[in-house]
Structure 1
Amino acid sequence: MKEILSVDHVSFAYPTDDEEVKRNAVDDVSFTIHDGEWIAIVGHNGSGKSTLAKLMIGLLFPDEGNIHVFLEQLTARNIWDVRSKMGIVFQNPDNQFVGSTVQDDVAFALENKGVPFEEMVTVVRESLTLVKMEDFLDHEPHHLSGGQKQRVAIAGALALKPNLLIMDEATSMLDPQGREEVIQIVSELKRTTDLTVISITHDLEEALLADRIIVMNQGKVLDIGTPEEIFSDGDKLESIGLDIPFAMNMSNLIRQNGLDLAGEHMTEEELVNELWTSHYNK
């Protein structure tokens, strides 16, 4: 598989008043992400995942180690060229809006790249259609719901046809409905395109959709694996302040109360299906 992004022994520390007191926010972190993967980076507050996100998009640069994006080392000289191949969606979509209408906002980056007007109109509509916001072309972004705002932010990122979409806590400020809307949109994009997705998140239900999960703790990589591999060791996650998905918690409680279940259930749908087919639909 083609390498999209690699982090090679990267460390970063924020300056402090006491130069002798230094704790790396990111401490000797290494991993590689390949074309078409969905990677979720999870961890509690202060685990280093947000700092890692800033390093991957060039808002910060490592004190030690290197980051390569599209096989090119990320530096201050090439940051703008590399970012032009990325789509970036932050936690608060209001901080990303620059246009007075939805279509103006999505068109902003295209205008900066000098895309011809006729092509720009087509791309804006296509991008908004991808996130099911084509009926909101002339709406003011600030009057949209939280989920709709984040979908517009994703459309703006997709308009540049990026090879890589990075979402930094993009669903953390949304209500359950808005969170579900955004996750469904990204899942569908991942299914129908070759887009590579990196999702920095504290939402374990969102992380379940990833191909692999990177668990951060105290600035280090604690574990890397598939969702099944990561969540199978609930004690390790709970020891660093993380929980396991609701369906797995419920499965364990059901077993403790004497009802035998065939396997691990990552989602509520899987659990309900087994309960229905194996225990109640007889």
Structure 2
Amino acid sequence: MTEILSFSNVSFSYTPDSPEHRKAVQNVSFSINEGEWIAIVGHNGSGKSTMVKLVSGLLFPQEGEVRVMRNILTEENLWEARSNIGMVFQNPDNQFVGATVQDDVAFALENSGVPYKDMVERVHSSLEQVKMDKFLNHEPHHLSGGQKQRVAIAGALAMRPKLLILDEATSMLDPQGRDEVLKTVRALREEIGLTVLSITHDVEEAIFADRVLFMNDGKKYAEGTPSEIFALGDKLVEFGLELPFAMRMTKLFQENGVLLAGQHMSEEELVNDLWTSNFNK
């Protein structure tokens, strides 16, 4: 499989010359292959934001290597590397520059010199992919939070990146908006094999990833499937993260004598187990 992004023993400190400097990222290694969804989770100060800056070339590692499309990221190839990466940020209102939805999606394409005919096709197809094609002429500030982020995703997709980065992209949304965005990303993975890196402290978002990197104090504390990471249970809580809602409810049910087959990460799994184990007798 094609390797899209990798960190190899990457370390970075904002105060490297200080005798008591703390490394914001310390000896971190991981890789993402084409079509994967990797989630990086951790509390504030765990190193997540620094890792995003290292991926985008806003920072360069003081130790180790960051590779994009198997090429070591340098100042010389920075713009080429960035052309392979689409980003959706925390606050959708800070991302809009166009007067209408289609103007906004077209903005980066126009700046990149994409021919008009191709630009129109890309704008329409990317908005169709995120189910926002009926909002072409709407003003972005009239959209809901979830709709705004879906337009932001469309803008990223129109540039045809190899990797989509969600940088706390659901943290300012209400539950409905968050569900809209996650449903969109999951559908895009199925339809076009989208490669996703999500940076989040929302464990409900990380459930959908293929692998989860759990960061603590700048270090990669653990890496594994969502089931393997959330099986750490109280250790996650100790480091400032909540367990998924369904896991918390499962624990409460079990403590109160309700028979359940095991731990559940999704509400659907929990409801099905409750029905099978306790009410369908």
TM-score, length-scaled by structure 2:
0.96
- Residue aligning to 1:127: 126
Aligned residues: 281
1:84 corresponds to: 83
- 2:8 equivalent in structure 1: 8
Q: Deviations over 1:80-122 (max 9, x none)?
A: 1111111111111222222111111101111122211112111
Distance 2:145 2:229 in 1: 30
SS of residue matched to 2:40: strand
Give the whole-Å Cα distance in 2 for the aligned partners of 1:112 and 1:2: 29
- In 1: Cα distance, 2:92 partner to 2:254 partner: 42
Corresponding residue of 1:153? 152
CA distance in structure 2 between the partners assigned to 1:88 and 1:124 by the alignment: 17
The answer to which of 248-257 and 151-160 deviates more is 248-257
Q: 1:20 Cα deviation (Å)? A: 2.6
The equivalent of 2:263 in structure 1 is 264
The answer to whether the Cα contact below 8 Å between 2:5 and 2:31 also exists between their aligned partners in 1 is yes
Q: Aligned to 2:20, what secondary structure does the other structure show?
A: coil
Contact 2:259–2:277 (8 Å) recurs in 1: no
Report the secondary structure of 1:25's partner residue.
Answer: strand
Question: What is the RMSD computed on CA atoms of the aligned residues?
Answer: 1.3
- Runs (5+) with no aligned partner, structure 1: none
Output the CA distance in 2 between the equivalents of 1:264 and 1:176: 23
Equivalent runs, 1:44-83 vs 2, <5 Å: 44-83=43-82
Give the aligned partner of residue 238 of structure 1. 237
What letter corresponds to residue 38 of structure 2 in structure 1? I
- In structure 2, give the amino acid aligned to 1:159: A
Instruction: Using the TM superposition, give the Cα deviation of residue 19 of structure 1 relative to its aligned residue in structure 2, in angstroms.
Output: 2.6
Equivalent position amino acid for 1:127 in 2: S
Please state whether the residue corresponding to 2:23 is helix, strand or coil. coil
- Matched position secondary structure for 2:54: helix
Contact 2:56-2:82 within 8 A present in 1 as well: yes
In structure 2, C-alpha distance between the alignment counterparts of 1:245 and 1:145, rounded to whole Å: 25
SS in 2 for 1:5: strand
Q: Cα offset for 1:21? A: 3.0
Kept in 1, the 8 Å contact 2:108–2:159? The answer is yes
Letter in 1 for 2:165: I
The correspondence of residues 162-181 of structure 1 with structure 2, limited to 5 A, is 162-181=161-180
Alignment of 1:209-220 (within 5 A): 209-220=208-219
Measured in 2, the distance between the counterparts of 1:51 and 1:140 equals: 33
Q: Which residue of 2 aligns with 1:30?
A: 29
Q: For residue 13 of structure 1, what is the amino acid of its counterpart?
A: S
> Per-residue deviation at 1:255?
1.3
Does 2:110 correspond to 1:111?
yes
Using the TM superposition, give the Cα deviation of residue 181 of structure 1 relative to its aligned residue in structure 2, in angstroms: 0.7
Identity %: 65
Q: Structure 1 residue 263: deviation in Å?
A: 2.1
Equivalences for residues 247-262 of structure 1 within 5 A:
247-262=246-261
Partner of 1:197: 196
Show CA shifts across 1:135-173 (max 9, x none). 111112122221111111100000011111011101111
Structure 2 CA distance, aligned partners of 1:95 and 1:82? 23
Deviations 1:42-74 (A, max 9, x none): 000000001111111111111211100110111
AA in 1 matched with 2:4? I
Unpaired segments ≥5 residues, structure 2: none
- How far residue 130 of structure 1 moved from its aligned partner, in angstroms, is 0.9
Conserved in 1, the CA contact under 8 Å of 2:261 and 2:277? no
The separation in 2 between residues aligned to 1:19 and 1:204, in whole angstroms, is 35
C-alpha distance after superposition, 1:189-212 (max 9, x if no partner): 112112110000111011000000
Distance in 2 between residues matched to 1:157 and 1:203, nearest whole Å: 22
